[in-house]
């Protein structure tokens, strides 16, 4: 397999799409990894397997419509395997295994049929102390944009997934890239104040546009740097509630085609105004686990 990922929006050719099959019963509160899941476990509204399988099937159909090669994980019994973006990511021709929460190690084993097609020299495992998940890593032009958390209380946040050791490791791995880090707002208890990953508050779309939520960034100057990078006229600002509903976590098939949640009316209208085809799918049940379309896809090849 010839891995090739240099940005978020070039024409997609191959992707790993997660699976909601056999994702297990509603977790106990003590097993929740994020505040939004906790909220729905408490309320008795946590999503059920049947609904999530339907939502992911709708995404698979759209990908197949655009002739994208879709890989799925091997189904593990009673195990959540929806969010493949967490477990690994591709930059250029390198497949980088994430250092994720220890409870989720089995997820990477379930895509061994994909990994076996990649030359060993292109598979990278970062040092153990470098914590990282794919939702925090975005290639854009000659930049690598990386979400992290700078605070000394990093270890107190189950929602802090990428640390500064990982940012340094990426700088060493990709000396040709400008690696820029962003200090994200974290909360273990309030999903509206928690940017779990960079793609929960920012994402490039189209040729030169971006979706952004100012409140996801702890440092205003870092938010302003991103706005300047794209130009204010090219940026779609989302609200706190839209961030909570995961509006920045759509997924690009090409510069002029995205998959988006059907209830994102304001965002979808703006995308269409930019000349982008919006393939709408239902994904509101999966969103209850604080992840959406980008989170559940692991792109392998883009043109």
What DSSP assignment string belongs to 30-86? GG-SSHHHHHHHHHT-PPPHHHHHHHHHHHHHHHHHTT-EEE-PPPPTT--B--GGG
Q: What is the model's pLDDT at position 63?
A: 98
Which of 8-12, 24-28, 174-178 comes out lowest in average pLDDT? 24-28
User: Beta partners for 278?
Assistant: 258
CB atoms closer than 10 angstroms to residue 127 = 10
pLDDT digits over 248-278, tens only?
Answer: 999 999 999 999 999 999 999 999 999 999 9
Give me 252's structure tokens: 């690009």
Indicate the pLDDT class of residue 112, thresholds 50, 70 and 90. very high
Residues in Cβ contact with 73 at an 8 Å cutoff, skipping those fewer than 6 apart: 16, 18, 19, 81, 84, 107, 110, 111
d(CA 121, CA 143): 23
d(CA 194, CA 209): 23
CATH 1.10.10.10 fits 12-302, yes or no: no
Domain boundaries, the chain: 12-302
Q: What is the mean pLDDT of residues 154-158?
A: 85
Give me 248's structure tokens: 């920045």
pLDDT at 241 over 90: yes
Residues in Cβ contact with 254 at an 8 Å cutoff, skipping those fewer than 6 apart: 9, 10, 11, 12, 66
Q: What is the model's pLDDT at position 265?
A: 98
Sheet with 143-148, edge to edge strand ranges: 137-140, 143-148, 178-183
Q: What is the mean pLDDT of residues 162-190?
A: 96
pLDDT at 99 over 90: no
On average, the pLDDT of the chain sits at 95
Report helix, strand or coil for 144: strand
pLDDT at 154 over 90: no
Which of 153-157, 272-276, 288-292 comes out lowest in average pLDDT? 153-157
Which of 24-38, 73-87, 133-147, 285-299 comes out lowest in average pLDDT? 24-38
CA-closest candidate to residue 182, choices 215, 141, 231: 215
Cβ atoms 167, 146 nearer than 8 A: yes
Ramachandran region, residue 79 (left: φ > 0; alpha: ψ -120 to 50; beta: rest): beta
Q: What is the model's pTM?
A: 0.95
């Amino acid at each position: 397999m010839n891995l090739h990922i240099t940005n978020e929006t070039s024409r997609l050719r191959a992707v790993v799409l997660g699976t909601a099959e056999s994702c297990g019963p509603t977790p106990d509160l003590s097993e929740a990894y994020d505040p939004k899941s906790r909220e729905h476990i408490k309320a008795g509204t946590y999503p059920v397997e049947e609904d999530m399988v339907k939502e992911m099937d709708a995404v698979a159909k759209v990908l197949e419509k655009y002739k994208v090669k879709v890989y799925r994980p091997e189904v593990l019994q009673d195990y959540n395997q929806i969010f493949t973006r967490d477990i690994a990511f591709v930059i250029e021709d390198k497949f980088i295994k994430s250092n994720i929460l220890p409870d989720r190690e089995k997820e990477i084993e379930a895509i061994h049929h994909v990994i076996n097609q990649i030359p060993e020299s292109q598979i990278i495992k970062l040092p153990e102390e470098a914590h990282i998940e794919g939702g925090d890593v975005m290639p854009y032009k000659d930049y690598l944009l990386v979400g992290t958390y700078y605070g000394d209380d990093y270890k107190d946040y189950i929602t802090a997934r990428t640390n500064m050791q990982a940012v340094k490791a990426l700088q060493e791995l990709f000396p040709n890239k400008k690696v820029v880090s962003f200090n994200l707002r974290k909360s273990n208890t309030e999903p509206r104040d928690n940017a779990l990953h960079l793609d929960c508050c920012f994402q490039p779309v189209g040729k030169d546009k971006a979706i952004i939520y100012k409140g996801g960034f702890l440092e205003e100057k870092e938010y302003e740097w991103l706005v300047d990078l794209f130009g204010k006229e090219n940026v779609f600002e989302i609200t706190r509630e839209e961030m909570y509903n995961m509006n920045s976590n759509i997924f690009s098939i090409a510069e002029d085609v995205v998959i988006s949640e059907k209830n994102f009316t304001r965002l979808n209208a703006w995308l269409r105004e930019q000349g982008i085809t919006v393939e709408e799918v239902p994904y509101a049940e999966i969103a209850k686990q604080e992840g959406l379309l980008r989170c559940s896809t692991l792109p392998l090849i883009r043109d």
